A and B are shown apart, each in its own frame.
Chain A
Amino acid sequence: MTASAPETAGKPARGFRIDLKTAGPLLALALLVLLGITLNENFFTYNNLTNVLARSSFIGIIAIGATFVITAGGLDLSVGSMAAVIAGVMIMVMNWLIPSLGIGWSVVLAGMLAGILLGGVAGVFNGMMITRGRIEAFIVTLGTMGIFRSLVTFLANGGTLSLNFQVADVYRPVYYDGLLGVPYPIIVFAVVAIAGEIVMRRTTFGRHCAAIGSNEQVARYSSINVDNVRLLTYILQGVLVGVAVLLYVPRLGSASSTTGVLWELEAIAGVIIGGTMLKGGHGRVWGTVVGVVILGLIGNILNLQSLISPYLNGAFQGVIIILAVLLQRGRRNG
């Protein structure tokens, strides 16, 4: 029923058709919201929606970085493990600085700085291996995925790294409080999304990403510095993972080897649901935001209903993801 929408829209004038079809992810989102409203009266409450958006913000911010990487024809599988290791190091840095800086915002700010820096460094490493080492992005980031994951397990001695109790209380509001009732994670997510959309659409860097992703050779002949642009996408990805972790750490104040497991797949799924092509060449930051919110809502709706057995959660998720992409298939073929 939902899949028929693009077909009926195929008849009218061209401009109108494209409009409706780029709206594929939005349509899926709207259907999901309707489903949520019919299943549970508490779904469309301010509290529930801010809950879902706030906890989607980590994946969302990471996925915006992934949109650039994928648009430029690359791939980064290491983001989930990178998030875990950044969270671990941030916690260790903050705990270690308490004796010299005391309990307070200076410790938290130092931790945040360490997190962003480490993200950037990890991005430089991935990017250099791919662009200067000439190794496939898939292999490099598969390797760093394993390296980062073991590192956090090693740092935590197989257990869990926990932030000092009092510092956690200072840091806690970053996740739980907000401005005018809007939690900070949502605000940061929105700012990153708007900035990302502008960079992708309005800057040379954004256009170069798309050019490289659609045809690397042509981009090279057009005197685009392919290696540097690619390197930049991985650095941006790393820094954004750092930003996401800044918001993640205050939530539970801990990191372990289970932190960020499968985040890379969720981020990539969000990007693709949003209409960015996996083979590169075309990226939509706003689409990624919609894609990530769709993924967040699926989990939320499953927890708010009792019609679908919890044993079938995975199947329901799969169906929605395929449906959301199917809505866009119509766009390309019809």
Chain B
Amino acid sequence: MKLTKSILAAAVIAGSLGGAAVAQDKVTIGVSVPAATHGWTGGVNYFAQQAIDRLSTTYPNVDFVFASAPDSPKQIADIEDMVATRNIDALVILPGDPDAMTSAIKQVKDGGKFVTVVDRQLSINGVENLYVAGDNPGLGANAAAYFKEVLPEGGNIVILRGLPIPIDQQRFDGFMGGIEGTKLNVLAHEFANWNRDDGFKVMQDFLTRFPDIKGVWTQDDDISLGAIEAIRQAGRENDMFVVGGAGMQQILQRVAAGDKLTPVDVSYSPAMIATAIELTTAHLVSNVQVSGRYILDSTLITKDNAARFLDADSPF
């Protein structure tokens, strides 16, 4: 008992000394992300935790509150709790459904907190102090540029889309805009829900339906993995190539190995959450100006630069 007390006392003294050293009080940052329902959000959770661990060691006076929510009501409850019980100074949020979350996030902002929104645009402009996102139209456009380059004579392609939400539409529009005026012919596009099993099914049926396919754009690596198995089953690996998106390790390894079926990938890294947490922390501990919009490039990953994107520890 006595021992615990003295440890506590020591901790308090150490804490106040540490605080004095940087001449600043303790700050608390809330981080709210959607639950890991698919590979990409799994990556978001992983990179968020990793950034929090790293920054907690670097800045002992910064506290983090991390919450992962399966749906919007839970995510709203999470951020309400963060404000009410943990007295956060800043909120970093990747809203599962931005439209449903907008007013709740606005309340946090109106309460005088610093708000960082990640990946998904809120339905009202100017709520967030800082916006960090990937480039969805660019993801489509960069993929389209690759198709144009390798199929200059044109050819038949099929598209496997994600879920019917705005992100998917932006990617799709970006791609369709990119191939406008070329001889590339989109035979069909269907939703594969960013899911391997659906990717397999839809691709199997596309292969049944179309005897001549030169290229497949899945805009997501989970869908790609399903589609690749369907193509292997049909024995048509040599007739076409598949371009996904996101930068999943399994696909990157194939790209790095020079696989003909998956020659390239387009990055859309879940690590953007780490970028957002870093910037927000920098703002709170040193008051550097970070407000604004940060759009991370959706880079084309080829055999030559794949090594730069490989990360053996990433679960995504």
Contacts and interface: CB of A to CB of B under 8 A. Distances in A.
B297 interface: no
Interface in B58-103: none
A303 B46 contact: no
Contact of A303 (B195, B196, B201, B226): B201
Nearest to A253: B229
B38 A303 contact: no
A257 B37 contact: yes
A160 B204 contact: no
B209 A159 contact: no
Contact of A157 (B37, B42, B206): B42
Nearest to A254: B196
Given A42-B209, A159-B315, A257-B38, A252 B229 contact: yes
Interface in B235-280: 250
Nearest to B44: A158
Interface string A110-130: 000000000000000000000
Interface stretch (A23-31, A43-51, A188-196): A43-51
Interface string B187-209: 01111000111001110111011
A329 interface: no
Contact of B191 (A254, A261, A304, A310): A310
A300 interface: yes
Contacts of A156: 42, 315
Interface in A138-189: 153, 156-160, 162, 176
Interface in A198-254: 251-252, 254
B155 interface: no
A159 B316 contact: yes
B225 interface: yes
Interface range on chain B (Cβ under 8 Å from partner): 35 or more
Contacts of A57: none
A251 B42 contact: no
A313 B191 contact: yes
B42 A158 contact: yes
Contact of A304 (B45, B189, B195, B209): B209
A45 B189 CA distance: 22
Contact of A258 (B37, B164, B209): B37
A303 B39 contact: no
Contacts of A310: 161, 189-191
B208 A160 contact: no
Contact of B201 (A55, A160, A162): A55
Contacts of A42: 208-209
A303 B315 contact: no
Contact of A306 (B45, B188, B208): B188
A300 B230 CA distance: 14
A97 B252 CA distance: 27
Nearest to A160: B39
A279 to B, nearest CB: 30
A310 B188 CA distance: 10
Interface string B208-244: 1100000000000010011001000100000000000
Given A252-B226, A300-B205, A311-B164, A55 B200 contact: yes
Contacts of B41: 158
B250 A256 contact: no
Contacts, number: 92
A23 to B, nearest CB: 28
Contacts of A306: 188
Contacts of A55: 200-201, 204
B45 A158 contact: yes
A244 to B, nearest CB: 13
Contacts of B42: 153, 156-160, 256-257
A313 B250 CA distance: 31
B307 to A, nearest CB: 20
A156 B46 CA distance: 11
Contacts of B39: 159-160, 256, 258
A303 B45 CA distance: 34
B43 interface: yes
Contact of A257 (B36, B190, B201, B209): B36
B315 A304 contact: no
B256 to A, nearest CB: 15
A33 B38 CA distance: 34
A160 B221 CA distance: 12
A158 B233 contact: no
B262 to A, nearest CB: 15
Contacts of A256: 38-39, 42, 196
A252 to B, nearest CB: 5
Given A158-B45, A176-B233, A258 B196 contact: yes
Interface in A289-329: 299-300, 302-304, 306, 310-311, 313
A81 interface: no
Contacts of A259: 197
- Nearest 7 Cβ contacts at the A-B interface: A159-B315, A303-B205, A158-B42, A158-B36, A159-B42, A157-B315, A48-B208
14 contacts: A158-B43, A158-B46, A159-B43, A160-B39, A160-B42, A252-B200, A256-B42, A257-B36, A257-B42, A258-B38, A299-B205, A306-B188, A310-B189, A310-B190
Interface of B: 35-39, 41-43, 45-46, 161, 164, 188-191, 195-197, 200-202, 204-206, 208-209, 222, 225-226, 229, 233, 250, 314-316
Given A160-B316, A252-B200, 7 more contacts: A157-B42, A159-B39, A252-B196, A256-B39, A257-B37, A303-B201, A304-B205
